């Protein structure tokens, strides 16, 4: 099967098996319910680089295997997840990214969890944050935020933007040339404020965060706004 490289930049595929089974706590008269399992199709997606997924009833163990099998060329990964607390294992994500997603530049995860609001669960927000304070996450300027909603659930957002330069050695007398860059994707405000490079030929700008009007000053420091022909907000 041959797949066009352009069409493969963004593909969302849902593959699952369903089978009925009876649970002990099912109400009387209920014939059964459906449990979902994932089967990964044996297709090489060498040009799949931008992925945005909403993961419902998919455990981290299952998604981890999909990453290993398919997402080896991914540069932009945005996911929303629910309840499975394993998604908040920063050490596990670190090893997964280092071993199987060497090209990853933007990572954005939104996780909703009602279990964390249960006082009987011995897991605090501070413990979760600590997992994302290793040098790996600090170098990528990782952002970690959370909020409680009115229905007793906690929403946690984790993201980073990482510009990795391969096969380039720099000294104090050398200057990296970013003239070939035409698309800039800014995941959050801190990444913009910390950027020290200038990209003179950028025409495509993507913003993930909520920015105010003062952003123009910061943007003009790294790009020429007059050259922008495409503006996107995620």
97 in a domain, yes or no? yes
33 in a domain, yes or no? no
Q: Does residue 191 share a domain with residue 140?
A: no
10 in a domain, yes or no? no
Given 98, 126, 161, which residue is the final one in a domain?
161
13 in a domain, yes or no? no
Question: How many Cβ atoms are within 10 Å of 207's Cβ, its own excluded?
Answer: 19
Instruction: Give yes or no for a contact between 100 and 67, defined as CB atoms under 8 angstroms apart.
Output: yes
pLDDT of residue 200: 87
Q: Does residue 157 share a domain with residue 42?
A: yes
pLDDT one digit per residue (tens) for the chain, 234 residues:
333 333 333 344 444 433 344 444 444 444 443 444 455 555 667 788 888 888 888 999 999 999 998 888 898 999 999 888 889 889 999 999 999 998 898 899 988 877 655 554 545 566 777 788 888 888 787 877 767 654 556 777 888 777 543 333 333 333 445 676 777 777 667 667 777 778 888 888 877 666 666 788 888 888 899 898 888 776
Instruction: Identify the DSSP state of 27.
Output: P
Given 161, 196, 218, which residue is the final one in a domain?
161
Q: Does residue 142 share a domain with residue 223?
A: no
**Confidence (pTM):** 0.56
Q: Does residue 79 share a domain with residue 130?
A: yes
Q: What is the Cα 139 distance to its own chain's centre?
A: 16
Q: Does residue 113 share a domain with residue 65?
A: yes
Range of the domain at 212: 183-233
Q: Does residue 198 share a domain with residue 93?
A: no
DSSP H or E segment with residue 190 = helix 189-194
193 in a domain, yes or no? yes
Instruction: Give yes or no for a contact between 77 and 110, defined as CB atoms under 8 angstroms apart.
Output: no
Angle made by CA atoms 50, 55, 61, in degrees to the nearest 5? 95
> How many domains are there within the chain?
2
Q: How far apart are CA 75 and CA 73, in angstroms?
A: 6
- Residue written as token pair 């909603």: 149
145 in a domain, yes or no? yes
Pairing of strands 76-82, 106-113: parallel
29 in a domain, yes or no? no
Angle between helices 90-100 and 60-70 in degrees, nearest 10: 10
pLDDT of residue 62: 93
């Amino acid at each position: 099967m041959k797949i066009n490289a352009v069409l493969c930049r963004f593909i969302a595929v849902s593959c699952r098996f369903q089978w009925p089974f009876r649970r002990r706590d099912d109400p009387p008269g209920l014939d059964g319910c459906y449990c979902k399992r994932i089967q990964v199709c044996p297709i090489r997606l060498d040009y799949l680089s931008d992925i945005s997924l909403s993961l419902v009833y998919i455990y981290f163990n299952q998604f981890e295997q999909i990453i290993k099998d398919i997402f080896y060329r991914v540069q932009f990964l945005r996911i929303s997840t629910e309840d499975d607390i394993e998604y908040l294992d920063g050490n596990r994500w670190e090893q997964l990214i280092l071993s199987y997603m060497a090209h990853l530049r933007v990572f954005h995860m939104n996780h909703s969890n009602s279990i964390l609001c249960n006082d009987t669960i011995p897991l605090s927000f501070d413990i979760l944050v600590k997992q994302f304070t290793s040098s790996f996450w600090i170098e990528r300027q990782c952002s970690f935020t959370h909020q409680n909603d009115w229905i007793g659930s906690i929403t946690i957002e984790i993201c980073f933007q990482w510009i990795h330069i391969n096969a380039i050695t720099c000294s104090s007398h050398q200057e990296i040339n970013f003239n070939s860059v035409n698309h800039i994707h800014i995941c959050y405000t801190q990444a913009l404020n910390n950027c020290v490079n200038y990209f003179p030929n950028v025409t495509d700008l993507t913003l993930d965060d909520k920015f105010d009007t003062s952003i123009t000053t910061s943007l003009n420091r790294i790009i020429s706004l007059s050259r922008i022909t495409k503006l996107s907000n995620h």
